[in-house]
Homo-oligomer: A and B are copies of this chain.
Amino acid sequence: MIDRPLVAFLDVNETLSDLDSLTPAFEAAGLNAADVYPWYLAVLRDGFAATVLGDCPRFADLGAQVAAARIRAVAEGLSDDEIATAAADLMSGFLRAQPHPDVVSGLVALADAGVRVVTLSNGSAAVARALFESTAAATVVEEYLSVDDAGAWKPSPVAYRHGLGWAGIDAADGLMVAVHPWDLEGARRVGLRTAWINRHGAVYPAGFTTPDIEATSFDDLARILTDGPTPQV
């Protein structure tokens, strides 16, 4: 049986939001669906590099910068101003990102199981909040936390301690939930328990510490925390 955590801290980008839902915003900027994931990787690369150097940039600023470089590389004849505007428009598309289909029901089930639900994002609180606007999850998410208020991006320990401090709990009573091994590794280093959402049948990379829980969706996570893991046959 798995001890139920007091608080589940949920990563936002790609864990809750479906990056594919950003495709229209990329297309409006003259890019395409194949640009979305490399863009996201490049934003994390630059954000983590900044974190190594002790900086804490805004996700939206890095996102616009990386998008502008890509738009410049593929667009013909756009002025600097037009590129900056297209990149800014692309980033405002983030406010129209959609959650994965398992997320709203899964978060409601987590809350029904008595777990406090809080998001903890390298992006802004506003983007996380917009994800659930006019959904049933809006009423069960207790708070939208951002590393903007922590002073360092995940996976810095500072970011997770910000969440723990806000929630007023010991690390062992918290569960970090993410699709990203790097996020769970950072959480584990401060003593949080970890749950990996593995929607696509991936194998957890050997270079990272095995998570405490593996679930195929948020619905599955809520079920595991209620009933225990499915026996391996």
Contacts and interface: CB of A to CB of B under 8 A. Distances in A.
Contacts of A50: 182
Interface residues on A, range: 35 or more
A206 interface: yes
A45 to B, nearest CB: 5
Nearest to A42: B41
A49 B185 contact: yes
A205 B44 contact: no
Contacts of A155: 49, 52-53
A48 B182 CA distance: 10
Q: Which of A37, A48, A62, A203 has the most CB of B within 10 A?
A: A48
Q: Which of A49, A72, A182 has the most CB of B within 10 A?
A: A49
20 contacts: A37-B38, A44-B45, A45-B45, A45-B182, A46-B181, A46-B182, A46-B207, A48-B52, A49-B155, A49-B185, A50-B182, A51-B52, A52-B155, A53-B186, A53-B189, A61-B207, A62-B207, A65-B205, A68-B205, A72-B203
